[in-house]
Amino acid sequence: MATLTYVYADSTAVLGPLAHLAEPHSYDLCADHAERLTAPRGWEVVRLTPAFLDAGPTPDDLSALADAVREAGRVRPAPEPPSVTETARRGHLRVLRGEDD
């Protein structure tokens, strides 16, 4: 895996190790695409590492995926009908008042 960063002012494409943070004008590439990268005519390609290995998923990647799946499957309570109003809240507990109260 590698991160491709375009430096437009210098007409340079820089291929380096996978970045930990997202940056503007940066793109993550698999090892195959990093090896085959070419730049537009007049641009220079700077490779900070001679070979890019496809490391596969890390435990952090798997944890992030599990968290995303868990969040997507979380049951969300149905919204209250218009006749019910929340009057107070303490932690996860709510006091509701209906039309009849």
- How does 30-43 read in b/e, with b if 16+ C-beta sit within 10 Å? eeeebeeeeeeeee
Mean pLDDT by 10 residues, the chain (101 residues): 90 89 86 89 90 73 86 81 85 81 57
> Would you state the pLDDT for residue 53?
66
> Would you state the pLDDT for residue 50?
74
Q: How many residues does the chain have?
A: 101
Q: Residue 92 burial by CB count (10 A; 0-12/13-18/19+): exposed, middle or buried?
A: exposed
> Would you state the pLDDT for residue 13?
93
> Would you state the pLDDT for residue 54?
66
> Would you state the pLDDT for residue 11?
94
> Would you state the pLDDT for residue 101?
57
> Would you state the pLDDT for residue 22?
80
